[in-house]
Amino acid sequence: MQAIANFVMKGRLQAGVVVLVCSILPLLFWISAAVVGLITMRRGINEGAILLIAAIVPSVIWAQSVQDPTSLFVIATTWGMAVVLRQTVSWEKALFVGAGLAVLSIVLLPIVSADLLNQLVAFGVELFRQLNPERIQELGENVDSVVRNMMIGSLAVSYAMFATMSLMLARAWQAKLFNPGGFRKEFHQFRLSRASATLSVISVLVLSSLGDQNAVFAFALLIPLGFAGLALIHGSVARKNLSKGWLVWFYVISLIIGPSLIVLLVLLAVMDSWIDVRSRIRVD
């Protein structure tokens, strides 16, 4: 993967070719997003914007032809987050911009991907009916609305997650080229401010209590909270000089417990914002 970073840093032409090709080929949009993020952070907003246009054109065509805006939303969100990270050198601000763009995705999805959403809702309702028929009866005529909001929220969060991972890859490339070890240190030390963590949790709780139409927007705030929780886990393992096997087991368990992981990460993020857990860990 580092070879890609070395290649795109040679010039605009090389970067443009990689961005264009990866935007056209299915499932490689995340590489395109990472390249856009790298160039934006290293060479400036204008250079990044040129590559963004090169990536957006095939992404728009793809979104129109197959009703899948994944590439479009992920690349655009990555660029927006990269701009903020370059200007502020703050992952917290970049992540909340990503959350804001996820909210925008929630608003735009029913407009740009109506057919795709209808198909997903039909599939979701049928699956829901097989897994939990009693709940289907309780929801009655509202079942389509509930499933639709869940689908929209899940898709928007997945776009923001892909964008965040693409930005992390871009930052890792940048560190490898110009500041070895910089991204690892940056990630391991990341924690949300008390105000950001507390307000995020309060917002999630309030939005979730206002019905399905508003609860869907709470999904977006899970991105910075989840990122902070993961940073705490990775940073704690590194501070204790534990083997990477501990992280492997963490992710294996995460696959088993599924959505419950989000609750754990949110709790860890809030706790860390108040007591700075890593500073209390004895270094071995």
Residue spans of the domains in the chain: they are: 1-112+151-178, 189-284
End-to-end CA distance of the chain: 32
Regarding the domain delimited by 1-112+151-178, which CATH topology (the fold level of the hierarchy) does it fall under? Arp2/3 complex 21 kDa subunit ARPC3 (1.10.1760)
Cα–Cα distance measured from residue 4 to residue 172, given in angstroms and rounded to the nearest whole number: 12
Distance separating alpha carbons of residues 19 and 30, to the nearest angstrom:
10
Residue with tokens 């601000």: 93
Alpha helices in the chain (DSSP H): 2-8, 12-24, 29-43, 45-66, 70-88, 91-112, 114-131, 133-139, 143-178, 182-188, 194-208, 212-215, 222-239, 245-257, 260-275
Q: Are 26 and 194 in contact (CB under 8 A)?
A: no
- How does pLDDT run across 176-232, given as a tens digit for each residue? 999 999 999 999 999 999 999 999 999 999 988 887 777 788 888 889 999 999 999
Instruction: Evaluate if residue 15 carries a pLDDT over 70.
Output: yes
Q: What are the start-end ranges of the H helices in 25-66? A: 29-43, 45-66
User: Taking the alpha carbons of 166, 76, 49, 98 in that order, is the dihedral positive or negative?
Assistant: negative
CA distances from 34 to 3, 17, 22, 28, 171 (A): 13, 14, 10, 10, 8
CA 165 to chain centre: 6
3-state SS assignment for residue 216: helix
Percent of the chain exceeding pLDDT 90 equals 61
**CA separation for the pair 194, 185 (Å, rounded):** 21
One-character DSSP codes across 244-261: THHHHHHHHHHHHHTTHH
Reported as a single tens digit per residue, the pLDDT across 51-103 is 999 999 999 888 888 888 999 999 999 999 999 999 999 999 999 999 999 99
pTM: 0.92
Q: Which of 89-98, 116-125, 234-243, 272-281 has the highest mean pLDDT?
A: 89-98
Residue 42 pLDDT exceeds 70: yes
The type of residue at 110 is P
Displacement of CA 83 from its chain's centroid (Å): 16
The tokens for 6 are: 């070395």
Instruction: Extract the tokens encoding 72.
Output: 């479009």
Residue 30 to residue 23: CA distance in whole angstroms: 8
Six token digits for residue 17:
């070719």
Helix/strand/coil for 218: helix
pLDDT of residue 123: 87
**Separation CA 174–CA 39 (nearest Å):** 9
